[in-house]
Chains A and B, each alone.
Chain A
Amino acid sequence: MASAIAVVGMSFGAIAVASGLDWWMPSALSVLVFAGGSQFMVVGVLAAGGGVVAAVAGALVLNARHLPFGLAVGDIMGRGLLARMVGSHLLIDESVAFAMAQKDDPKRARAVFWFLGTLAFTVWNLGTVVGVAAGQVIGDTDAFGLDAAFPAALLALVLPSLKKARPRNAALLGAVVALAATPFLPAGVPVLLALVGLAVLLPTPKKKEEVAA
């Protein structure tokens, strides 16, 4: 996983400087924001001619998904204030996915979460620095297929949770909705709209809990 995150971090650094960001900006994003999807979104919106406000707003909307992530793994990272304050910054797709895969064994899940979160933070930032250096040399990052690396990495991570029918159906419905909405809505919004896929979880109309999520 570490080498994959490093590769995706490198592609982020390279794509970011190739799209015109200053050399220090990709690293500032990787240290302070540390959320690959939103970092790619910022760069993508700016490269497509969107403004800074649109780029940041889209990225924030996309990162709203960390709220349900945090709710889902909250106890795994630890219950102390310090554990939560530091652990929250390490709450990423990868640490969540791997920790949730171990959740039947809480002790092991906690070790997995902290180990992977710290490791991912380190290699993501190292990868970003290398990518920035490479990007200043490469120029056309699409020619190297770097834009395919990020979704492929996420796909590998999410596959295990698609083995069960209910999450799979919800995800498929959500993806169709997001794709259909993409031409009409600002980048980032269609991904949140995909949450209507959660309707699959409602076999009977008596529960109203999805409003709270």
Chain B
Amino acid sequence: MNITAILILAAGTYAFRLAGPLLRTRLARAHGGEAELPPRLAELLSTAATVLLVALIATAALTDGGKFAGIALPAGVLTGGLLAWWKAPFVVVVVAAAVVAAGLRALGVP
């Protein structure tokens, strides 16, 4: 890792971020004047974000380096998910996930 790699990643990420708001105006114009997206396209876009986030969660929780991550990591994330479902405070969700994963590993669970 070096400063050039960090700057390339930073510039590329910023370009992706800025492209959304800028393209949206153009997309909206193409669909008829108002800066509003057609409902179907709007649904498609917000669903795309949800799909990507859930895929990121699933791969981060269940895999490690392309292989199955073991028991402790998914168990920790699942605990956090259940607490979130029961409307536990955000920080409780995060800390509980870490504590369960750490506890299982301390007991020798992979």
Chain B residues with CB below 8 A from A40, complex form = 60
Number of A-B contacts (CB under 8 A): 299
Whether A52 contacts B2 in the complex (CB less than 8 A), given A143-B106, A197-B51, comes out as: yes
Q: Find out whether the CB atom of B44 lies under 8 angstroms from the CB atom of A213.
A: yes
Q: Find out whether the CB atom of B60 lies under 8 angstroms from the CB atom of A48.
A: no
A118 at the interface (CB under 8 A from B): no
Q: Find out whether the CB atom of A171 lies under 8 angstroms from the CB atom of B35.
A: no
How big is chain A's contact interface, by range? Answer: 35 or more
Q: Find out whether the CB atom of A153 lies under 8 angstroms from the CB atom of B95.
A: no
Q: Which residue of B lies closest to A35 (CB)?
A: B13
Main secondary structure of the interface of B (DSSP, over half): helix
> Within the assembled complex, what's the spacing in Å between the Cα atoms of A14 and B81?
23
How big is chain B's contact interface, by range? Answer: 35 or more
Q: Report A176 CB to chain B, min CB distance, Å.
A: 8
Whether A145 contacts B81 in the complex (CB less than 8 A), given A64-B16, A158-B50, comes out as: no
Whether A175 contacts B21 in the complex (CB less than 8 A), given A46-B1, A213-B45, comes out as: no
Select one of A148, A170, A182, A209 contacting B63, CB under 8 A. A182
Chain B residues with CB below 8 A from A53, complex form = 5
Chain A residues with CB below 8 A from B27, complex form = 71, 212
Q: Find out whether the CB atom of B45 lies under 8 angstroms from the CB atom of A68.
A: yes
Chain B residues with CB below 8 A from A46, complex form = 1
A190 at the interface (CB under 8 A from B): yes
Main secondary structure of the interface of A (DSSP, over half): helix
Which residues of A approach B to under 8 Å, CB–CB? 1, 3-4, 7-8, 11, 21-22, 25, 28-29, 32-35, 37-38, 40, 42, 44, 46, 48, 52-53, 55-56, 59-60, 62-75, 77, 79, 84-85, 87-89, 91, 93, 96, 100, 142-159, 161-162, 166-167, 170-172, 174-175, 177-179, 182-183, 187, 190-195, 197-198, 201, 207, 209-210, 212-213
The 8 A-B pairs of least Cβ separation, nearest first, read: A70-B20, A152-B80, A145-B101, A148-B76, A152-B97, A194-B55, A145-B102, A32-B10
List 26 interface pairs A-B (beta carbons < 8 Å), by A numbering.
Answer: A7-B95, A22-B1, A28-B6, A32-B7, A38-B13, A44-B65, A65-B52, A70-B19, A71-B27, A71-B45, A145-B100, A148-B61, A148-B100, A151-B97, A152-B93, A156-B94, A167-B46, A171-B50, A171-B54, A171-B55, A179-B58, A179-B59, A195-B48, A198-B51, A209-B44, A210-B44
